[in-house]
Chains A and B, each alone.
Chain A
C-alpha cells in the first residue's frame, strides 16, 4: 500500500504558528489594542468633547494632572491639527508616536520572527529592551511626575 504524505502548505504552517506561538499571539493582540486606541482617537470628536474617559486624579484631588487632555490631543493629531494637540497636552505627541511606533514594531518583529527562525531568542530580547527604552522615553514625563509625587507627598 502506498502512503501519501501531504506536505503542509506554507499558509497552514503560518496559521499554526500564529495560533500556538505566544510571541506572535501577544504581538497580534497588542497591534489590535493600538488599532483600537487609534480608532478611539478618530471616533471621538474634539469639538463635541464627549470622551468617555474621565480623569480620576482630577476627580479626587480637584487638580488637573500631567496626562489631562491626552485623549483630546490624540484626536487632534489624528486629524492633523498638531499645534492644537500641543496646546491640549504637551506630551500628547510623544505618547501618540510611541503607539504608532509600537504598531510598526509589532508587524516588523512578527515578520522577522517568522522568517528568521534561528534567531528568535535574540529577536525577543531585542524587542523587550527596545520597546522598554522607547516606553521610558515616551512616558518619562509621567514617570517623573509619579516619582516626584511620591517624594513630595511622603511626610
Chain B
C-alpha cells in the first residue's frame, strides 16, 4: 500500500526555498545586496504561511524550515550591506564638510597674518645679496589705498581731447 503524505504547504515551501536561495546569492553581491531585502521578506512570508498551514494539517515541514532559515540569514546579510553602505555614505558626506572647514581655517589664518604682514625678500646673485624688508599693517595699507584713490580721481578729472 502506498503511503499517502500530507502535502499542505509543500508548494509554499518550495517557493520560499527557491526565493531564499536566490536572495542569499543576491545578498552577498554588494551591487544588488541592498535590494535583496525585498525577496528576503517575501521568502520569510511564504515560509511562515506555509509553516502555519503545515502545522495545522500536521504536514512535513523540512523544506519550509530550510526556506525560512536561509531567508532570515539572507535578509540579515542584506541588512548588513545596507548598514555598511549607509556608514560609508555618512563618511563620504562628512569628508567634504571636513575639507571645507580646513580650507576656511587656512583662509582665516592667511587673512589674519596678512593684516599685519612683515615681508622680507632676499635675493642672492653672484655673491651679492640684496635684502628688501617691508613692514606693513592694516592701517598703512588703508592709508595707501586712500592715497591711490585720490590720485585716480584727480587723473579722472582731466579730460583728454583728441585732435
| Chain A interface (Cβ < 8 Å from any Cβ of B) | 22, 25-26, 29-30, 33, 53-58, 60-63, 65-68, 70, 135, 139, 142-143, 145-146, 149-150, 153-154
Chain B residues within 8 Å of A54, by CB = 31
Give the CA-CA distance A153 to B87 in the complex, in Å.
6
Are A150 and B34 in contact, with the CB atoms below 8 A? no
Chain B residues within 8 Å of A135, by CB = 25
Are B31 and A68 in contact, with the CB atoms below 8 A? yes
Are B29 and A153 in contact, with the CB atoms below 8 A? no
18 A-B pairs within 8 Å (CB atoms) are namely A22-B10, A22-B63, A56-B31, A57-B30, A57-B31, A57-B34, A57-B81, A60-B88, A60-B89, A61-B88, A66-B30, A67-B31, A67-B32, A70-B31, A149-B87, A149-B88, A150-B83, A154-B87
Interface residues of B in 82-131 (CB under 8 A from A): 83-89, 92
Are B22 and A33 in contact, with the CB atoms below 8 A? yes
| Chain B interface (Cβ < 8 Å from any Cβ of A) | 10, 13-14, 17-18, 21-22, 25, 28-35, 63, 77, 80-81, 83-89, 92
The CB with the most chain A CB atoms within 10 A, among B30, B32, B81, B86, is that of B30
Are B28 and A153 in contact, with the CB atoms below 8 A? no
Are A146 and B84 in contact, with the CB atoms below 8 A? yes
Give the CA-CA distance A153 to B31 in the complex, in Å.
18
Q: How far is the CB of A114 from chain B (nearest CB, A)?
A: 18
* Contact status of A153 and B89, CB under 8 A, knowing A26-B18, A68-B31, A70-B31: no
Q: How far is the CB of B109 from chain A (nearest CB, A)?
A: 30
Are B92 and A62 in contact, with the CB atoms below 8 A? yes
Are A65 and B31 in contact, with the CB atoms below 8 A? yes
Q: How far is the CB of B62 from chain A (nearest CB, A)?
A: 9
Are B13 and A22 in contact, with the CB atoms below 8 A? yes
| Chain B residue nearest to A69 in the complex (CB) | B31
Chain B residues within 8 Å of A143, by CB = 28
Are A146 and B17 in contact, with the CB atoms below 8 A? no
Give the CA-CA distance A66 to B25 in the complex, in Å.
15
Are B88 and A63 in contact, with the CB atoms below 8 A? yes
| Chain B residue nearest to A25 in the complex (CB) | B14
Chain B residues within 8 Å of A57, by CB = 30-31, 33-34, 81, 85
Are B34 and A60 in contact, with the CB atoms below 8 A? yes
